[in-house]
Structure 1
Amino acid sequence: MFSAQLPAPILFHPLKHHLGYIKAYIRQNCAAPEAEIKAALQTLGGSQLDLYIGPLSPPQVAQEVLQHLQENCLLQPLTYQRYLAASGTSYQVATLSDGTNWILRWGVVAGRHVHLHPARYARHTLRVKASVLKIAIAALVAAKRRGGNTVMDTAYINGVRAAWLGLPPVKDIRLSEVLLHLIALLEDTL
């Protein structure tokens, strides 16, 4: 799942990499069919990821990356591909106005050859497991469906893990500081 609202040739997965987008997704999709939300959560994959928690919106991130590429004559696919290959790592790094480093890779979606995501451990980012992000999103969507005031305790989280994600139970969510921190960030309760 990528944001089709962003200008081509940008390929960006904001449900996986952008806190502000995820907050909006939870608000706007809490009444969506459960199967649709589950399918969206599966697009987050199963490994670790870097979540941008900074002030730039997805359109601002895209615009700054496009400006960087345009200023360096790198917008054309072949030129961009050569630029990536020249690094010897198949990616390059762009620093945006808020000081955050973003990874530029080759995009495999037609017309979207500039694949970007936050750099590991960059400024304004949080490194999390995909499963933790899935649990946080599912827990908050499920809470909103129940009126929004569900207590995030172990029983509730285990119910969400089983029903929404097919994951086994955990002993005590208080041991998952990252999950609790991520839920607080998504709820704006920090």
Structure 2
Amino acid sequence: MPVKYQNGQVVCVQEHKPIAFNPWKHHCGFVCNQIQLIRGEGGGKLNELLGYIGGTLLDFYIGELSVYTIVNEVNKYFMDMGVANVDDFKHWLGLPETTFKSIYLSDGQCWVIRLGQNDEYYIHIHPGRHSKLTIRCRPTTLKTAIAFRYLFGFEDESLEIDKLNYARKLAGLPPVESLNSASALQNFISNLRVNNR
């Protein structure tokens, strides 16, 4: 699935309008499938794709719904609510008093809904916090985990300092001196698996 920047906002393909959603930051199944594709192509795009991951903290969806299912369910929700344009959406959101709301999709996952950065993709979504289907992490953790899975595949669970630093170097991050602070990364890597998501 191609991802592009528009006005500084990462958005999905045209069919997803008006939904702005960055699956690189927020969707495990998408990320795992992209790692497989990149490994098959020789990895030339890895650094470019890691550039889609920024911010300070992010919520990462590990559930079974595909990106297309999520987008379709969100679009259906707003169609059912009679939201047909950006003005309807602003009214639904309750701006300026309310800057975000939450909705639940078919798997019980909470999704946070905000105003997007432009009128073309005006519904910005990301997974809600504190859910059994969401992991909260730093962007550096996600980048390192992606690089680790790219380098060592989806079967290798052994986190050693040399392998960790090799992955961090590939992700453009400085090395660490020990594994003492890597327990969050170990947990995150174990969730980054290939399946049918």
Q: Per-residue deviation at 1:183?
A: 1.2
Please list, as runs of the form range in 1=range in 2, the aligned pairs for 1:94-105 lying within 5 A after superposition. Answer: 94-105=103-114
Unaligned runs of 5+ residues in structure 2 are: 1-9
Do the aligned partners of residues 6 and 17 (structure 1) sit closer, same or farther apart at CA in structure 2, a change above 3 Å counting? farther
Tell me if structure 2 keeps the 8 A contact 1:94–1:102: yes
Do the aligned partners of residues 23 and 68 (structure 1) sit closer, same or farther apart at CA in structure 2, a change above 3 Å counting? same
| Matched residue type, 1:157 | L
Do the aligned partners of residues 6 and 25 (structure 1) sit closer, same or farther apart at CA in structure 2, a change above 3 Å counting? farther
Do the aligned partners of residues 143 and 154 (structure 1) sit closer, same or farther apart at CA in structure 2, a change above 3 Å counting? same
| Corresponding residue for residue 126 of structure 1 | 135
CA distance in 2, matches of 1:87, 1:123: 31
Q: 2:99 aligns with which of 69, 81, 90?
A: 90
Do the aligned partners of residues 170 and 6 (structure 1) sit closer, same or farther apart at CA in structure 2, a change above 3 Å counting? farther
CA distance in 2, matches of 1:23, 1:142: 13
Q: Per-residue deviation at 1:58?
A: 0.9
| Corresponding residue for residue 50 of structure 2 | 41
Q: How many positions carry a matched residue from both structures? A: 186
Matched, 1:183 2:189: yes
Q: 1:22 aligns with which of 11, 15, 31?
A: 31
CA distance in 1, matches of 2:167, 2:52: 18
Matched, 1:68 2:77: yes
| Corresponding residue for residue 11 of structure 2 | 2
Q: 2:124 aligns with which of 99, 111, 115?
A: 115
Tell me if structure 1 keeps the 8 A contact 2:32–2:194: no
| Matched residue type, 1:180 | Q
CA distance in 2, matches of 1:90, 1:160: 37
Q: What is the root-mean-square deviation of aligned Cα atoms in Å?
A: 2.5
Residue aligned with 1:108, SS = coil
Tell me if structure 1 keeps the 8 A contact 2:144–2:168: yes
Do the aligned partners of residues 173 and 31 (structure 1) sit closer, same or farther apart at CA in structure 2, a change above 3 Å counting? farther
Decide which moves more: 56-65 or 74-83. 74-83
CA distance in 2, matches of 1:115, 1:47: 18
Tell me if structure 1 keeps the 8 A contact 2:26–2:58: yes
Matched, 1:154 2:161: yes
| Matched residue type, 1:18 | H
| Matched residue type, 1:11 | A
TM value normalised by structure 2: 0.83
Same amino acid, percent of matched pairs: 28
Residue aligned with 1:30, SS = helix
More helix by share: 1
Q: Per-residue deviation at 1:175?
A: 3.6
CA distance in 2, matches of 1:148, 1:101: 30
CA distance in 2, matches of 1:175, 1:183: 14
TM value normalised by structure 1: 0.86
